Structure 1
Amino acid sequence: MLETLRKIVQEVSAAPDLESVLDLIVRRIQRAMRTQMCSVYLFNTKKQRYILMATQGLNKDAVGAVSLSASEGIVGLVGQRAEPINLEDAAKHPAFIYLPGTGEERFHSFLGVPIIHQRDVLGVLVVQQKERRRFDENEEAFLVTVSAQLAGVIAHAEATGSIQDVSGSRRGAVIESRFEGVSAAPGVAVGPAVVMAPPADLNAVPDKPAADIEAEIQLFVRALESVRHDIRVVGRTLSKRLRTEEQALFDVYLRMLDDNALAGEVVEKIRLGNWAQGSLRDVIKSHIREFDAMDDPYLRERATDIRDLGRRVLAYMQEAAPAQIDYPDNTILVADELTPAMLGEVPTEKLAGLVSVHGSGNSHAAILARSLGIPTAMGVLDLPYTQIEARTLILDGYNGRVYVNPSDEILQVYRDIMREDREVAAGLEQLRDKCAETSDGYRMPLWANTGLDIDVTRALDRGAEGIGLYRTEIPFMIRDFFPSEQEQMQTYRSQLAAFAPSPVTMRTLDIGGDKALPYFPIKEENPFLGWRGIRVTLDHPEIFLVQVRAMLRANEGLGNLRIMLPMVTSVHEVDEANRMIDRAVNELREEGHVTERPPVGVMVEVPAAVYQVRRFARRVEFISVGSNDLTQYLLAVDRNNPRVAGLYAPYHPSVLRALEYIAEEAHKENVQVSICGEMASDPCGAILLMAMGYDVLSMNSTNIPRVKSAIRGITHVRARGLLSQVRGMDDAEEIHMLLRTTLQELGLGQLSRPTIPR
């Protein structure tokens, strides 16, 4: 069963469009279950009907012509119940409806299972037989398993089915498609997609029309001859060391590249209009699918050979004709996985937005995007990025959403949001030199989160009063080896000097989780619960001591350094870190440096730390909450996973109660408590946190004007009343709605993030 399922899913995953996906499904399931009929009904949300989309056993003319309402027939009942229905004689069931012209009167037994993707019923998978019998438990289990495995494939194929192919042909009108990801940097962008692919990666090659078909063919032919030459050279070089049968492998490679084999297929594809790289990709992937589907293990392994040949030819084509990328105005850069280097290749004045199929909100590219104020969506897993070159996109960085081929109506909605964003930004510029103070005189310090030199400039321009989080791992990430003490000192000095005498909070090296150093890889099954943060640096005192020494040296003559320890879970870690900091101070004094011990604090990011805040507060000078990690650990939701992003709720009652408890506990020891997560950068969240008693809010500098405006537009008394009201509420979305409504009532509705209906 598992092997059959593997083959079905593998074939279906590789199908080029929705029609092919559904046709494969019904044929493969009919054969695997040895049943006389298999059909797929997909639910059309606009028509609110289940439409027969593919069948093996019913009248083919009925495909696309026969449909049932959401409440009609046994198919409708399967969808309503969202569970299988197994009948000995379907015609005797009260919900049965005869569909003329299908030929279903021949069949009696019926088994239907829902196709469900992320709680939505996409359709119903049905098998039937002429004899009267119930399908047995194994058959039902198989169909349910197949349905669950195929749901994602169908959802993806359904979503991308409206995207026009490179040749310009279309199966009906091109319609708007929407893809969900994770918000990495707020804002909205509208513009053409420019797809950037890494070198020699077949899967990342985008579709492009061939501007000059003969030139594309010649490019391919030259690359092919180069690969043939390489294979002959390698064959001759190894001829004395290989047996005859092993030498024959090189002849096999050469035959694969014959004009009558792969080469001929690629040329044919080019003549149909796709450029050489896209044509090569299609042919190679088609052959890989064929080998992968074979039963013989030896033949399956030949897929690796085909893949290798394809990469070699592609590399020569890319080398011979390096991509001359034209960056139009309002470019939205799209990649399988964005890197900082990719951002650097696009002229700043042309770049409007960033989209990454993979990657998280904490990736290097995302951090840089936030620093530059570029709307960004990460983890848009279902986006068929190789098919969208030059298409108009809407990038909703507020909600992590991407629209391809947007309708005029949705374009207008987002253009209105962009206009409002510009108006708000212009109006907020006047607040730069004003403090965040409520109308009844309550002062709320606003600090910035930084990681790059450009962050400092932006933070100062937006009126930040200090740095609440300097991510020291950023300088480590952009190097190929650990920076020396002197290099670190110079980097830290620039941050400290720019803000002196205002405080600068430097977090010690926080790697692990989704933040890895290329020269210090950490391979773990569950990195978020693994070796990260303070755990790494305490295990490597040579790294920790060098970093602390660099911070202390950078602080000489300035005196505005604060050191913060990440991912702390026990007082033992705090005590050990304090001892090492004392050691670094003493070493530097012995070396003749004028060094003072700076304030030291801990980050509260895990549930274990929440209930030890008072113990920590007796050992440190300040407490800082990392609300992003704390929220994900409290709710057991990976905030960077688009599949569960909807469950990541900063306004969850449990999260709010934990945040309030932390502030109360820290103040019992008269220790300052700050917060440096995304919640502080949301005007709604900032008001609540102020009411809870947080002493400092730290955020991305882009958000400082909005938060400042929100605080200046409310009284502290009203904020406290709002917190009291929230304490009695049970639902995160209702809490967020109350906060947004309050901003509207205060005339500050333009400050909250827009919510676009899904």
Structure 2
Amino acid sequence: MLEVLRKIVQEVSTAPDLDSVLDLIVRRIQRAMRTQVCSVYLYDDDAERYSLMATQGLNPDAVGRVSLSSSEGIVSMVGQRAEPINLEDASVHPRYTYLKDTGEEQFHAFLGVPIIHHRDVLGVLVVQQKEVRRFDESEEAFLVTLSAQLAGVIAHAEATGLIRPQGEGETESERRFEGIAGSPGVAIGQVVVIVPPADLSVVPDKVAADIDHEIESFEAALALVRKDIKVVGRSLSKRLRAEEQALFDVYLRMLDDNALAGEVIDKIRGGQWAQGALRTVVMEHVQQFSMMDDPYLRERATDIKDLGRRVLAYMQESGPADIEFPEDTILVADEITPAMLGEVPSDKLLGLVSVHGSGNSHAAILARSMGIPTIMGALDLPYTRLDGRKVIIDGYSGRVYIDPSDDLRSAYMDILRGEQEMAAELATLKDMPAETRDGFRMPLWVNTGLVADVARALERGAEGIGLYRTEIPFMIRDFFPSEQEQLQTYRRQLEAFHPRPVTMRTLDIGGDKALPYFPIQEENPFLGWRGIRVTLDHPEIFLVQVRAMLRAGEGLNNLRIMLPMVTSVHEVDEACRQIDRAVSELRDEGFAIERPQVGVMVEVPAAVYQVRRFARRVDFISVGSNDLTQYLLAVDRNNPRVAGLYVSYHPAVLRALEYIAREAHKESVPVSICGEMASEPGGALLLMGMGYDVLSMNATNLPKIKSAIRGVTKIEADELLQQVMGMDDADEIHHLLRRRLRELGLSQLTRPVIPD
């Protein structure tokens, strides 16, 4: 069964249109199950009908002409119940409806299973036979398995437009794709697709600007690969049998002008750029070999893919290093990384779209700090075909619009103007305190990591840095930065904010933050070797970083050091000993070093219930609400499939946050929060009510939070918290916060109304 399933899924993935996909499905299933009829009915939401879209065994003329209402026939009953229906004689069932012109009156045995994707019934898959009998359990299980696998293929194909009904155009004119809101705001611009090196699957389609140059680039790469294969073949000649060595001759023949190379050149002459032409040809051949029954021939798919990657690697190395970015760049990638943000001139980057990742991934957090509208987890987006296309990205709702109409563009231009007017209004608050109407003062700090964050934060009136992400200088290099290099980076931050406090988190790698030169390969990185666990295991890295921080703070005395991902007092004690050692060493070396304040981040459930123990050992407590929410709810914040379950206003999260503040204050230790919850007006009011001493957020949202705090009294915030803490549902809490903000006259701080 698995072999049949693999073949069907592979064939479907390369089918040119929806008709071909469905026709292929019914033919393959009919053959595999040795049944006389297999049909697919797809559900039309607008018409509320199940239409016969493909069949093998019924009258083919009925396809596209025959349909059933949502309450008519056994097919619709399968959809209504969302479960299989297995009948030995469908014609005697009370819900049986005769479909004229299908010829199904001669068939009795009926098995229908729903095609369900993310709880939505897309259609019904049906098999029928003439004899009166019940399909057995293995047949039912097989059809259910196929339906479950094919549901995702059909849903993805329909959503992306990669599979379209025949006769439709090749463009996705004003097609809308859903993702996850990563960073608020609206951007209208031109797509630039960024791809990682030597990955055929993510190479985008592009029109060749210079066909001769593209052919020359391809042939040069081809020559280098041929040379590599010959060298490897010669070096292994004494260790291989003759038949094994012949494999290298096969490789070389594949690269001949009459084979892969010739096909690629034909594609280039047809107007496709070299890398896109290579991808198309290689993937076509991989598909053909993958479907072959002979195991030996099937393995040749791997050889072809390997050759394609080798050629692509040389082409990407020899290609132009600099990408031409338009003035209105919308950066699109399979997975946006922090390093990519540095590739685009900041004055040209208007928005980001990442096919994978979630709204709380590291890249999304950085995008928010930079004020760049961002969409994450746009899984269905056909991004390889978007380079150079005009798009609108809506960072409030998580929507991407390709080739928007003039009306839609005009509607979003109105929203952009409204944002600019509000930004100008909020800018007037820069020098005003974040103080409630009844005189309660709430310090607002910022989360930083990029050099550009400093100026942006000071422009918006930040009173300190609650989180400086030191891993970012590590991530943009090819090796660990030296003590002197780190010192210079940290000194710029400390001087820029002096005398305001600057909280530097020690190196926090692992999870969704990887260093290319220090890879951590784990099946579950978020529960693995990360944060303080890595640096305590590598004191040589930890001590160099702490020494750089201490030297950077010499004479300024505004440094605070924060330890990430702590789970035990042992980790805190060991880290403090290392910090004290670094202080002592530097003093012995003649530096006038004062021991800075040291604090811990509460990010995991284990830390929540040790807050008082930690508070007796450190100078401050800071909550990392992003990771804490992730671990409390057991939701991977980078997984778009469960992103909807990641909710800051979950009652369990709110109770934990309230408990942390209360426990820290019992030891008279200040407690701050540096997660994204503090960046939301409603969340900031709740945290103020809980008693947090400092709110730290991205610089972009600081004016909004200041406006929210200045628009209420402390008593109103306390009452709001009491009301919320008595509620049981996160969605209801979210709706209440939006309603209360409107009632308090702060509706301009909530998400604008988006056209649908």
Same fold (TM over 0.5): yes
For this structure pair, what is the TM-score category when the shorter chain's length is used for normalisation?
A: over 0.9
Q: Indicate the larger mover: 72-81 or 180-189.
A: 180-189
Aligned residue pairs, count: 756
AA aligned to 1:301 is E
Structure 2 equivalent of residue 41 of structure 1: 41
Structure 2 equivalent of residue 703 of structure 1: 701
AA aligned to 2:649 is Y
Deviation at 1:339, TM superposition (A): 4.0
**Contact residue 649 and residue 734 of structure 2 kept, 8 A:** yes
Deviation at 1:194, TM superposition (A): 2.0
Deviation at 1:438, TM superposition (A): 0.8
Structure 2 equivalent of residue 208 of structure 1: 206
Structure 1 equivalent of residue 367 of structure 2: 369
Does 2:427 align with 1:429? Answer: yes
**Contact residue 182 and residue 641 of structure 1 kept, 8 A:** no
Structure 2 equivalent of residue 482 of structure 1: 480
Structure 1 equivalent of residue 145 of structure 2: 145
Q: How many angstroms apart in 1 are the aligned matches of 2:441 and 2:322?
A: 53
Does 2:132 align with 1:126? Answer: no
- Measured at CA, do residues 652 and 706 of structure 1 come closer, stay the same or move farther in structure 2, by a change above 3 Å? same
Does 2:440 align with 1:445? Answer: no
Q: Which residue, 666, 671, 677 being the options, matches 2:675?
A: 677
Does 2:294 align with 1:304? Answer: no
Query: Equivalent residues in 2 for 1:225-244 (5 A)?
Result: 231=229, 243-244=241-242
Query: Equivalent residues in 2 for 1:99-110 (5 A)?
Result: 99-110=99-110
Q: Deviations over 1:344-396 (max 9, x none)?
A: 44343332111122345566654543343221223322221112223332212
**2:332 aligns to what SS in structure 1?**
strand
Q: Indicate the larger mover: 571-580 or 426-435.
A: 571-580
Q: Indicate the larger mover: 228-237 or 658-667.
A: 228-237
- Measured at CA, do residues 66 and 193 of structure 1 come closer, stay the same or move farther in structure 2, by a change above 3 Å? farther
Structure 2 equivalent of residue 554 of structure 1: 552
**1:525 aligns to what SS in structure 2?**
coil
Q: How many angstroms apart in 2 are the aligned matches of 1:46 and 1:441?
A: 55
AA aligned to 2:480 is F
**2:428 aligns to what SS in structure 1?**
helix
Structure 2 equivalent of residue 294 of structure 1: 292
Structure 2 equivalent of residue 18 of structure 1: 18
**Contact residue 195 and residue 203 of structure 2 kept, 8 A:** yes
Query: Equivalent residues in 2 for 1:218-257 (5 A)?
Result: 231=229, 243-257=241-255
- Measured at CA, do residues 322 and 489 of structure 1 come closer, stay the same or move farther in structure 2, by a change above 3 Å? closer
Structure 2 equivalent of residue 584 of structure 1: 582
Q: How many angstroms apart in 2 are the aligned matches of 1:326 and 1:509?
A: 34
**1:431 aligns to what SS in structure 2?**
coil
- Measured at CA, do residues 517 and 289 of structure 1 come closer, stay the same or move farther in structure 2, by a change above 3 Å? same
Q: How many angstroms apart in 2 are the aligned matches of 1:477 and 1:33?
A: 53
Does 2:412 align with 1:414? Answer: yes
- Measured at CA, do residues 328 and 242 of structure 1 come closer, stay the same or move farther in structure 2, by a change above 3 Å? same
- What fraction of aligned residue pairs are identical, expressed as a percent? 77
Structure 1 equivalent of residue 492 of structure 2: 494
Structure 1 equivalent of residue 96 of structure 2: 96
**Contact residue 86 and residue 112 of structure 1 kept, 8 A:** yes
Deviation at 1:290, TM superposition (A): 1.7
Q: How many angstroms apart in 2 are the aligned matches of 1:69 and 1:411?
A: 37
Deviation at 1:540, TM superposition (A): 2.0
Deviation at 1:291, TM superposition (A): 1.5
AA aligned to 1:288 is V
Query: Equivalent residues in 2 for 1:151-550 (5 A)?
Result: 151-161=151-161, 170-171=168-169, 174=172, 176-209=174-207, 231=229, 243-267=241-265, 269-270=267-268, 274-315=272-313, 322=320, 326-359=324-357, 365-406=363-404, 410-550=408-548
AA aligned to 2:559 is L
Q: How many angstroms apart in 2 are the aligned matches of 1:677 and 1:490?
A: 27
**2:279 aligns to what SS in structure 1?**
helix
Does 2:561 align with 1:566? Answer: no
Q: CA RMSD in A?
A: 2.8
Deviation at 1:229, TM superposition (A): 6.2
Q: How many angstroms apart in 2 are the aligned matches of 1:106 and 1:508?
A: 74
Structure 2 equivalent of residue 611 of structure 1: 609
Q: Deviations over 1:594-632 (max 9, x none)?
A: 222222211111111112212222222211111111111
Deviation at 1:176, TM superposition (A): 4.1
Q: Indicate the larger mover: 222-231 or 63-72.
A: 222-231
Structure 1 equivalent of residue 4 of structure 2: 4
Q: How many angstroms apart in 2 are the aligned matches of 1:479 and 1:95?
A: 67
Deviation at 1:706, TM superposition (A): 0.5
- Measured at CA, do residues 177 and 68 of structure 1 come closer, stay the same or move farther in structure 2, by a change above 3 Å? farther
AA aligned to 2:540 is E
AA aligned to 2:374 is T
**2:388 aligns to what SS in structure 1?**
coil
Q: Deviations over 1:534-588 (max 9, x none)?
A: 1222222222222222222222211111111111112222222222222222222
- Measured at CA, do residues 656 and 236 of structure 1 come closer, stay the same or move farther in structure 2, by a change above 3 Å? closer
**1:687 aligns to what SS in structure 2?**
helix
Deviation at 1:170, TM superposition (A): 3.6
Q: Deviations over 1:661-716 (max 9, x none)?
A: 11111111111111100000011111111111111000001110010011111111
Q: How many angstroms apart in 1 are the aligned matches of 2:626 and 2:273?
A: 44
AA aligned to 2:477 is R
**Contact residue 362 and residue 514 of structure 1 kept, 8 A:** no
Tell me, which stretches of 5 or more residues in structure 1 are unaligned?
none
Deviation at 1:524, TM superposition (A): 1.2
Q: Indicate the larger mover: 100-109 or 390-399.
A: 390-399
Q: How many angstroms apart in 2 are the aligned matches of 1:33 and 1:568?
A: 56
Structure 2 equivalent of residue 29 of structure 1: 29
Structure 1 equivalent of residue 641 of structure 2: 643
**2:671 aligns to what SS in structure 1?**
strand
Does 2:713 align with 1:715? Answer: yes
Q: Indicate the larger mover: 211-220 or 127-136.
A: 211-220
- Measured at CA, do residues 96 and 712 of structure 1 come closer, stay the same or move farther in structure 2, by a change above 3 Å? same
**Contact residue 512 and residue 522 of structure 1 kept, 8 A:** yes
TM-score by length of 1: 0.93
AA aligned to 1:354 is L
- Measured at CA, do residues 237 and 526 of structure 1 come closer, stay the same or move farther in structure 2, by a change above 3 Å? closer
**Contact residue 362 and residue 512 of structure 2 kept, 8 A:** no
